[in-house]
Structure 1
């Protein structure tokens, strides 16, 4: 961790040393280059290209990069012609897989393309996690209710926050496992186990207090702001311009100070190194046996502070788990402290691993030239015939200002190849539902149609499980629509709007056992291959607009 911090500090220092004049010259050179490149394409050049080839002036031309045969067939049927020179600037529509294949600098106003600039703010895993945090301020929406906690491990502060969150999550799992294994309050407990559980309970208490402190501080700041806005109106009415602007400036400084103080106080409370060593040895008490004096000293201190005895420890475990449930909605996602690690910019399940222990996780990500995110694994998934699944849902943005979002009525369900279990973390056929992963499994061709399900079959399956209730239309679809809208709103200020650009996004959702929907990620250029018979049934003509 120290090495990562030093490396980032060195990078920051290097950036600070960059000469301002050089940067201005580079900007000017880039502007000149852009102007020169603009001259390479014009409506007159396009018209002349069509005339030379004998096409009428209104002939529509397209360029496609990627395997989009259905789109080609449709455009051809509508009288469009394909420009097979994929680097040509002559087109009315350019449809590509990657945004970098569109030179936005050279686009004419009338040319259409299927990507917006800076779409990584929504479609990269770290960009999505960062922008969703804006919802609480811009829309008063808590993204914790639909997005499992996610940390950018390339950011020093987030890396440290993740390590602490991992430790608290592990403490919670220790308490939950203890409760599940000792439902009888008359059970005799191993003394070493008591030490570990007591330290874990103590950690949960610290976490709950931290959450309460954050809530109180946020309420205080917003109350202060609202009161002062009211006072501000009075000042505006009485003192007009001079005191109005002076007051705004003073209040702005004070609010910034309170916000910074709030951020400073909101640091996740630290689990000490000794406490972590005790909590971390869930099945192996070697450390405790070798350090009995230290451990029993910690045990006595916590026991005196909390008033917990062997007789009431189970009761206290239940109490603290209930307290945590009241203030942390994501406690329902945790049981064995499973976390999933993903490369921030890759798709199709590449590089994804699942971990329960901190050290192997850190060994996996540190030292690789990849930007990683760590996200809480959803440990209470709804399953279909014992298989974990996710939902691929399409959404289309046609404009960012004013924002226009279309929601496709049809979606499809991707099922993992093997039955779900939390015991085998390394089996990707259990945990990942990507078709690119499943097709690597032995016997996939014989069961290919069992790895996907169309929406109608999914609705009928749920009805059979829930005595006829249609939970898809009652809960799941509405939640997906709200998540799509809110996630897109979270990054609308970072996107570059363009009238003749649009983009289709592939949303991946999971559903927990209570039919709550959770967002996993958002994909740019989602695959539309006909990989199964269920996929072929999907119609992309019916849409929902917000």
Structure 2
């Protein structure tokens, strides 16, 4: 997909054309959200909110606005905006799987089956209605297993259901075969159908998935930051395959779980990722926990590489993804979906503190204030895990608090994070380095 050439000055205020680089002046921002990100932006020293068509340096926009305006915008050197133009190549469920399958085939062709096995982290998946007949053939080979249907472009658990029999999707399928000449024909919505993971890893008898925050500041070259903190989202009811119609058993989305009759809003259904890592370490071993989180690292990098040559790279754009990962009974991580707009609305104080820190550190990494050197491997809670290649940790300088030993990869998901102390240290070091360079 090629991008339309931008027309200089179009959709841009006169003020922006004359303002030039940020330098020491205030940073002007726009925000289309009314939740935690707006709190973060308003509390940012030296940042000023603008409204309407006012000129801006930073825009936390929604996807709809970007799709409607990106191709006709002219952005100044210093401007930053949320979302890459065609982020949906990774965040629509059907396109995500399509791109992963393509890179897996390419890897097998060029590097062999052994290397292609590193892509074995997403369930058997088909797009409906386009691959309906292929799916039916696979379905008949494995009678009795459970499949899960998901709308390709919806979130928060909407439209998802489980089934064991083909007749259970009859109502959905009807629209596929209506005559094209029928004026009342309804084209069925695009879905993906996946083999359901019937043996999830359970804690307290409950299913959960892991929300991981990933910041991509460039696709060419690929530059990826991973946030140390996240959370595990638990189902409200104990897991069972006897009632596949019960969303409170099988779907971990907070939007679904909070509607459960016995949901406790004070406790919620979340664990911090640090708590999960400690649990896995205590119950299994530090090595077992390390392998789990290494597997998540692999999922992140492979999925981003699958769209690296497709995403329209733009130095003005960045993306904060919310990855959802499920563990099975063998502690193998599975990619469930990737969100381009992970929820920023907090479900409680701890959740608010987490999201506030994530968003603040997104701004710290982007560094519109020009306070960093650009060589940092950690900024607050974010660790740089890929910079046109794997990033190695400094020897012994960033040890994981769970097992007390350093690793070679600069990845510490679920490890202790003293983000405020770390920020003070890097800003002090960066300031000293810049003064030395000037003198």
TM-score, normalization by structure 2 = 0.71
Paired residues of 1:126 and 1:344 also in contact (CA < 8 A): yes
- Give distance in 2, aligned partners of 1:139 and 1:71: 42
Q: Residue 272 of structure 2 aligns with which residue?
A: 454
**Structure 1 pair 130/143, CA: closer, same or farther in 2 (3 Å)?**
farther
Q: CA deviation at 1:380?
A: 0.9
Q: State the distance in 1 between where 2:303 and 2:73 align.
A: 30
1:150 to 112, 118, 125: 125
Alignment of structure 1 residues 214-225 onto 2, 5 Å: none
Partner residue of 1:360?
Answer: 168
Paired residues in the alignment total 338
Task: Write out aligned runs for 1:103-502 (5 A).
Answer: 103-104=69-70, 105-110=72-77, 111-140=79-108, 141-142=116-117, 145-155=120-130, 158-170=131-143, 336-367=144-175, 369-444=188-263, 446=264, 448-466=266-284, 469-470=285-286, 473-502=289-318
- TM-fit CA distance, 1:71: 4.5
The residue that corresponds to 1:530 in the other structure is 346
What is the rounded CA distance, in whole Å, between the counterparts of 1:106 and 1:144 in structure 2?
A: 37
The CA deviation at 1:426 is 0.8
CA drift of 1:360 comes to 1.1
SS in 2 for 1:478: helix
Q: Distance in 2 between matches of 1:378 and 1:534?
A: 30
Does structure 1 conserve the Cα–Cα contact (< 8 Å) formed by 2:36 and 2:345? no
Deviation at 1:143, TM superposition (A): 6.2
Query: Per-residue displacement from partner, 1:217-262 (whole Å, max 9, x unpaired)?
Result: xxxxxxxxxxxxxxxxxxxxxxxxxxxxxxxxxxxxxxxxxxxxxx
CA distance, structure 1, for counterparts of residue 340 and residue 246 of structure 2 = 27
* Alpha-carbon distance between aligned partners in 1 of 2:292 and 2:381, rounded to the nearest angstrom: 18
1:246-296: CA deviations, max 9, x gaps?
A: xxxxxxxxxxxxxxxxxxxxxxxxxxxxxxxxxxxxxxxxxxxxxxxxxxx
Mapped to 2, the partners of 1:40 and 1:132 lie a distance apart of 36
Relative to structure 1, is the Cα distance of residues 154 and 462 closer, same or farther in structure 2, using a 3 angstrom cutoff?
A: same
Kindly provide the CA deviation profile for residues 419-445 of structure 1, in whole angstroms up to 9, marking residues without a partner as x. Answer: 00001011000000000001111121x
Helix, strand or coil at the partner of 1:525: coil
Contact 2:233 2:271 in 1 (8 A): yes
1:462–1:471 Cα contact (<8 Å) kept: no
Q: Aligned pair in 2 of structure 1 residues 100, 162: CA closer, same or farther (>3 Å)? A: farther
Aligned ranges 1:26-41 → 2 under 5 Å: 35=7, 38-41=9-12
Q: 1:517 to 1:145 in 2, by over 3 A?
A: same
Which has the larger strand fraction? 2
C-alpha distance in structure 1 between counterparts of 2:322 and 2:11, whole Å: 34
Aligned CA distance change for structure 1 residues 477 and 537 (closer, same or farther; 3 Å): farther
Cα distance in 1 for partners of 2:48, 2:36 equals: 14
Structure 2 residues not aligned, in runs of 5+: 109-115, 176-186, 359-379, 387-439
Change (3 A) 1:432 1:399: same
Q: CA deviation at 1:72?
A: 3.8
Q: Is the 8 A contact 2:145 2:164 kept in 1?
A: yes
1:512 aligns with 2:320: no
Q: Is the 8 A contact 1:63 1:94 kept in 2?
A: yes
1:98 counterpart = 2:63: yes
Cα distance, 1:99 vs. partner?
Answer: 4.9
Give 3-state SS (helix, strand or coil) of 2:339's partner: strand
> Counterpart of 1:433 in 2: which secondary structure?
coil
* Distance in 2, Cα, partners of 1:56 & 1:526: 31
In structure 2, the residue matched to 1:67 is 34
Where structure 1 has 5 or more consecutive residues not aligned to the other structure, the ranges are: 1-26, 171-335
- Report if aligned partners of 1:449, 1:533 keep a CA contact under 8 Å in 2: no
Which structure: greater helix fraction?
A: 1
Q: Distance in 2 between matches of 1:99 and 1:392?
A: 24
8 A Cα contact 2:217 2:317, kept in partner: yes
Name the CA distance, whole Å, in 2 between partners of 1:56 and 1:128: 39
| Offset of residue 399 of structure 1 | 0.4
Shift of 1:480: 0.6
Pairwise CA distance, 1:49: 8.8
Counterparts in 2 of 1:514 and 1:502: CA distance versus 1, 3 Å: same
TM-score when normalising by structure 1: 0.58
User: Hey, what's the Cα distance between the residues in 2 that align with 1:365 and 1:387?
Assistant: 32
User: Do the aligned residues in 1 keep the contact of 2:216 with 2:318 (CA within 8 Å)?
Assistant: yes
State which drifts further: 421-430 or 354-363. 354-363
Distance in structure 2 (CA, Å) of the matches to 1:490 and 1:76:
37
What's the CA shift for 1:117? 0.9
